[in-house]
Amino acid sequence: MAEFRLTSPAFEHDRPLPVRHTGEGDDVSPPLEWSSCPEGTRELVLVCDDPDAEAGVFTHWVVYGISPDDKGLPEAVPRDAIIEEPVPLVQGLNEFGESGFNGPVADEDRGPHRYFFRLFALDTELDLPPGATRAEIRSAAKGHVIATAELVGIA
């Protein structure tokens, strides 16, 4: 079977995030596409975080309840906790205490940061309400991750 992959038509792996997807621009989520979901996947979970943040890992986006039949997320996913169209999903809370994507904001005193978009294929469906945190997702998914795909943007 082909490798589980996560890509974006907006940026390449280990390349800059377009300004549109940062707090300096429109602050909208980038479009994402995935392929070769592993057999046995019951749910997909997406987490975007910055491990280079001064205070430690900083979460920018938490998405769960994604069907393995879906092949991606459009640009500018609304910030609602529950989305029905075009891709049904549930959003958790980011470090800003909000649901939805919040992009990076430049800080002249720091160098570039890496923003990891990680897509987890799970062998179960999570039973979590909207607004779960990254830590709650990790706890619920423990022992159920069958594959991970990763895409890194720089800002």
CA-wise closest residue to 72 among 140, 153, 6, 154: 6
Q: What is the pLDDT of residue 122?
A: 98
Give tens-digit pLDDT for 89-122: 999 999 999 999 999 987 777 789 999 999 999 9
Q: What CATH number has the domain spanning 5-154? A: 3.90.280.10
Give tens-digit pLDDT for 40-50: 999 999 999 99
The predicted model scores a pTM of 0.96
- Percent helix, strand, coil in the chain (nearest 5)? 5, 35, 60
Domain assignments of the chain as residue spans, ordered by start:
5-154
